[in-house]
Structure formats: structure tokens, C-alpha cells
Amino acid sequence: MKLSSAIAITPAIVQGLNSPQTVRNRPVMTNPMRHLLRHFHVAAVLGVLGLGGCAGKPNVLISDPMLSVDNSRVMMTVCHRNEPCTVGFLGVSTGELTKLSNDTDYHWTEATYSWDGSKIVVAVFPEEEISGIQTTKQLATMNADGSDFRIITSSAPHKFNPSFSPDGTKILFAQLVSAWPNPELVKDKYTIDLFTYDLETQESQRVTNLHWLQIQKPQFLPDGEQILIGGERYLPSGRIYTTSWGDAMFLERIVKEHRIRYEENKIYVFPNSFDTQLAEPFIVRGEHSSQASVAADGSVLFLSRTNKDDGIGGKYTYDLFLKREANTFRLTHMGSYLTFPRISVDGKHAVFMSDAEPRDARIGDTKLWIIETDGTELRELVLPRFPDD
């Protein structure tokens, strides 16, 4: 199917879809689709998403862009009108946007390629639950052409942020787990930990016991053993799980000192340095480094706040950085809010999304970009528009 014009997404929708996910006082993880639809509804009322409206206005939502192995297409989650969310592909050179036919009863989200590009894993949830208060996401796999769709998990806990191991035999994912004990101290019902699903044995195994409060998409490093992960093991307010109020006050001070010392850098490698509650980040660069992804050569792409670097006050701005061996390079000078950065498997290209006004309620400034990882050839990928019904 061919489509036409630009697509936009607000930072609020971005956070609702995937990045990052945070647990608060709820019995389940915040439902990404519920956030998406809420903003879809508000946007439609305001007339800024072009849902059946003016020509040239965006009329679909996208997220999670990722380059194919040959770098010829960008895969993404596509949500259009009342149709189930599915997997779309944008030709990098052709500009043609196609999507997989989703004839299941599930919304497909958070699509991720296997390292060889032959398979796709998605987080799914039933279409009839889209307006419900709670939705449990499961994991499903398919071939890269959409064939052989299979839901591979069925247990109750909410699952999200799936990715393949380098050899394609396992899927790494995040799952809600019960909170630590101490009802009088615990202010959150659930925390998050990492699991793997073995595609051969069809068994899941818990990988971490760290009780994250916030997590970003985890990935195996090329060795297939270590895991690149972004997130926090405590709430921004400093509340963490302890056995007594005295311990809580002591650890709250340590948490604050940790945040100040590392300036909110939130990228870690597991299992390195995870013997203690507060590990040293894998990457420490400027302020607030997050949303990392890794290439087959070990290069790590990530976002970092650049207000201090550029002497800019006011709204937070972010840019792309690349850690290659012992060196870290700045790739962009966007002066805007960035999200969904993803490096290609060969480490030569990256895709990401930007928004000129990260805290503005207006919709329409978000763009999809591609860049080479030497910092050259930055260009916008203009997405076509679905035909209005």
C-alpha cells in the first residue's frame, strides 16, 4: 500500500508508546495504546492531526524506527485510524511506505528485527482491550515478510521492550514483577526486571533481580552475554525499597549524591558493576544520557542533553552521540527534543525522531531523520500520507 505526506507524533505520545516506561501507583504497566488514543482523540478535537481533515496534515502515528540489515528500509510501528497497529516500512531512497497486513485480533507494537533481519518480534495486545483500563502485552514473532505470526508468551505479567539475541535463539524483554516487600515503605505495586525467552525450548528465564522503576529498551551486546540497558532502579523522588525508614533516609541521600555525581546518566551494562544498589553508568557524558542502542561492531548510539554544552537555557535539548571503543563523538546539533534513536546493525547509519517544541501541545513538528555515524549525510525522511477514507 502506498501512502502520502508527513507524519507527526508528540513527545507525550512517544512516552506512552515505549520510551521510557515508568511504573507508578498502578497494578499494571501504563497501557501504551491508551496514551496513544487519548492524544489521538485530543488531537482530532483540536483539528491538528488531520484525521480526515485538511490535505497535507498528518493522519497516522509512528514509533520505534529501525533500519533493515541492508539499510534500504526503515521499519516502524504504524497506527492509522481504527485499524490495528501494525508494522510499516519506509524505503530510504524511494520514499515508499508499505505496511504488513495485520489480519489478527491484536495490535502490533515495538517491532524489532533480529540481527540477521530474517525475523521480527513485536509486543501485542488484543484489539478489543484497546479502550480497557488494563491491557497485558504479550510477545509474538514473525518472519520479516509478516508470515508465520506466532504469539509466544501467555503468562499474565505485562511484557514489553523485546529484542533478539545476536544468534537469534533468544528474545530479551522487560516484564512487570511484584514489588519488594515492606508494604509500609513500598509506594509502587510493581517493578520491572529483564527476562529471556528461548525460542527452541519455549521457556522464559529471569535474567535480573534488580527491581527497576524505569527502563528503556534493553539489548544484548554483540558477545551475547552482556546487556545494554537504560533506566533507574529508584524513583526520581529518591524513594527506593529498603527494610526500614532509617535505611530509606540513608539510601535516599546516596541516591541524590549518585544523581548529582553522574548527572543523570542512565546507561548501564549488566552484569558489570551491579553488585551494589547504585552502579556506575557505562556511559558518562554531559547530562542525562539515555536511550542507547548497539551495533554488531559494539558501537553504541545514545542521546544526551546538550543545553550545557551549547549554552542554551529553557527547554531541554538533546543530541545524538556515538561511543566507539574508547571514543565518544557528537553526531548532531539539532537544538530540539530527540527520541527513538537506533543505530544500524552495521554501525554505519542511525535513525531517530525529533520535535522542535518538546513541551508544546501543538502537533506537526515531529520529523524522522537518517544520518551516517560519522556525522555526515543528515537528512529528513518524509513520510507519505494514508489516503483519507
pLDDT in tens, the chain (389 residues): 333 222 332 222 222 333 333 332 222 333 333 333 333 332 322 222 222 233 344 467 888 999 999 999 999 999 877 788 999 999 999 999 899 999 998 999 999 999 999 999 999 988 765 544 446 789 999 999 999 999 999 988 889 999 999 999 999 999 988 655 444 444 555 778 899 999 999 999 998 877 777 788 899 999 999 999 888 765 444 444 444 445 555 555 656 666 667 777 788 888 754 544 456 778 778 778 889 999 999 999 999 999 988 998 888 889 999 999 989 999 999 988 899 999 999 999 999 998 754 444 334 467 899 999 999 999 999 877 666 54
The grid cell for 386 is 494514508
> What is the chain's alpha carbon radius of gyration, rounded to the nearest angstrom?
20
For the chain, the domain total comes to 1
> What local confidence, expressed as pLDDT, does residue 272 receive?
54
pLDDT at 356: 56
112 falls within a domain: yes
Structural domain including 366 reads 11-380
The answer to whether residue 4 is domain-embedded is no
Residue with cell 549488566: 270
pTM reported for the whole predicted model:
0.78
DSSP string, 356-377: S-TT-S--S--EEEEEETTS--
Residue 5 lies in a domain: no
Q: What are phi and psi of 13, to 5 degrees?
A: -65, -40
Question: Is residue 250 a part of any domain in this protein?
Answer: yes
Instruction: Evaluate whether residue 2 is within a structural domain.
Output: no
As beta bridge partners, residue 369 has: 352, 380
What pLDDT, on the 0 to 100 scale, is given for residue 223?
94
The vertex-117 CA angle with 228 and 218, nearest 5°, equals 15
The answer to whether the bond into 84 is cis (omega within 30° of 0) is no
Contact 122, 99 (CB under 8 A): no
Run of H or E including 207: none
Please check whether residue 6 lies inside any domain of the structure: no
In our burial notation (b when 16+ CB lie closer than 10 A, e otherwise), range 373-384 reads beeeeeeebebb
Dihedral-angle region of residue 259 (phi above 0 means left; psi in -120 to 50 means alpha; beta otherwise): alpha
CATH of the domain at 208: 2.120.10.30
Residue-level pLDDT at 20: 34
Q: How many CA atoms lie within 13 A of 147 on its CB side?
A: 2
Length of the chain (residues): 389
At 171 the pLDDT is: 98
Amino acid, res. 222 = P
Residue listed under C-alpha cell 533481519: 117
- Among 231, 373, 371, 379, residue whose Cα is nearest residue 299: 373
The pLDDT score that the predictor gives to residue 22 is 32
Residue 135: the pLDDT is 60
Which of 91, 107, 101 lies closest to 33 in space, CA to CA? 107
Inside any domain, residue 3: no
